[in-house]
Structure 1
Amino acid sequence: MPGGRLTTEERRLIAAGLAEGLGYTEIGRRLERPASTIMREVTRNGGPENYGADRAQEATRHRARRRRQDAPPAPPLPDSSHGRDPRAVQDFTESFTELLLQQGLPRMMSRVLACLLVADSGALTAAELVQRLRVSPASISHAVTFLEEQGMITRERAPGARREHYVVDDEIWLRSTLAALQMNDVLAAASKRGSDVLGAATPAGDRFASSAEFLLLVNEALRNVMDQWRRSRAAARTEPAHD
């Protein structure tokens, strides 16, 4: 599926689709774009009745110029501790942020999570996140609340410390996988019930039965992988250090 910004040709195809009376889903299918992308494009550029490809293209250029003019100063380069190349660290952080975006995480949440992940301590205060990301405290507060609710970070306060630290650890993806596993269990149970209700011998019932079987197999494999990873990490922690 194509990514990135809509092209001039795509905008012309959207305009043509609207003129044909097509819905957002059908236009998106033809362009291999999500229907939500088409809807946002049309809504911000006059709506279905007034959408024009050239006008939308020019409006997009104008918004891009305005964003560049209003953009905050570039964040400082990371320090060069451990002999790292600060520019390489920054480039990696930006590319990892984009990867998180592609996985569906909102932009600010992606930036905060990537910032925490590349910090050796894995822990930063709200003030440190504001300084590193050059955003408002409110943006950080919203982002960390969301990430905490998703089980991706935790809050910690050292004894006697005045400020909380937002912490990410090496089990972040374990918790994410566990959440997916739990959802698969729910879907598998619902699919099994669907098969029973519709009748296992019917096409619809068989479809649900097949889905339940697949989800249960996936969860079995995930549980085995998670157990293996835990054993591997435990063994690594107990190994004596070598000089």
Structure 2
Amino acid sequence: MHTGWGVRSPRVSMDGRSVPMPGGRLTDGDRRFIAAGLAEGLGYAEIGRRLERPASTIMREVTRNGGPDDYRADQAHKATRQRARRHKQTQPPPPIPDSGHGRDPRAVQDFTESFTALLVQQGLPRMEARVLTCLYITDSGALTAAELVARLRVSPASVSHAVAFLEQQGMLRRERVPGGRRERYVIDDEIWLRSLLAALQMNSALAAASQRAAEILGPTTPAGARFESSAELLLLVSEAYRQAMEQWRQSVAARSAGRQ
């Protein structure tokens, strides 16, 4: 079942126990998991699958910390912390958001960081999460690329890549700045609706494919029954999505009518 970049299931440790899903960066527990996997002779792809991480992430982690024969979790974690400390010393601290409307700047900053971390935990890449949060907490819901670069203190290329990803996911749109040639990136109240619509389209496609597979394989066979069961679940999820979106539309319409 496809749910966009929704909540991921907890992964399972080498001994079969449930392990909490981390945020964007590898944790000490992740590194111990990788070390145990290497000791078992598992490849990067299999370790990545169990950690629900790209195989390339595992490969980079192992390569930069001694290789598969000399990888040690404690040493890797220590080296990563040292690299992060050096990077932090060379980077200026992020700006505290404006304190308009009587807001506490520090409270806004703390929320910005926690909401970004939440989006990362849900599966959104970190830079994309930072851009989305930056737009979300802005009253106008719109910023130019230059404004995003200044607020996030990142490169224009980083912003461009993040914006392209978010636009593809239907989480923002581009529009021309009035009276100018520059573009600005905009979010609105329907940001999650568009995300759900994208998930619904994929869910419906999976349901149709599962139904087709059940017909081809035969619903009385183990494989056919598996696809038939999957199709039933996916159709129920799709219907729940539709009902939730319709209820939300009715609620928004009622609030709008009450303001008039």
TM over 0.5: yes
TM superposition shift of 1:150: 1.5
1:109 corresponds, among 128, 132, 136, to 128
Asked if the contact 1:25/1:34 (under 8 Å) is kept, the reply is no
**Does residue 173 in structure 1 map to residue 195 in structure 2?**
no
Q: 1:14 to 1:180 in 2, by over 3 A?
A: closer
Change over 3 Å in CA distance of 1:79–1:27 after alignment to 2: closer
The residue that corresponds to 1:6 in the other structure is: 27
Within the candidate set 191, 196, 203, 2:215 is matched to: 196
Counting matched residue pairs gives: 237
Q: Which has the larger radius of gyration?
A: 1
Q: 1:44 to 1:214 in 2, by over 3 A?
A: same
TM-score by length of 1: 0.86
What secondary structure sits across from 1:155 in the alignment? Answer: strand
Q: TM-score, normalised by structure 2?
A: 0.81
Distance 1:78 1:121 in 2: 14
Task: Give runs of ≥4 in structure 1 deviating > 6 Å.
Answer: none
**1:218 is matched with which residue?**
237
In the alignment, the residues of structure 2 paired with residue 27 and residue 139 of structure 1 have an alpha-carbon distance, to the nearest angstrom, of 28
Per-residue displacement from partner, 1:47-106 (whole Å, max 9, x unpaired)? 2233234542442233222222222x1222222222211111111111111111112211
Summarize the Cα distance change of 1:15–1:173 in structure 2 as closer, same or farther, 3 Å threshold. closer
Q: Structure 1: where are the runs of 5+ without partners?
A: none
Shift of 1:22: 3.4
Alpha-carbon RMSD across the aligned residues, in angstroms, is 2.4
AA at the equivalent of 1:125: T
2:30–2:51 CA contact under 8 A, matched in 1: no
* Residue identity (%): 70
Which residue matches 1:100? 119
After superposition, the C-alpha distances for 1:115-172 in whole angstroms (9 at most, x for unaligned) are 0000011011112111111112222122112211221111112442332221000000
Match of residue 51 from structure 2: 33
Checking the alignment, whether the CA contact within 8 Å between 1:123 and 1:165 is kept in structure 2 is yes
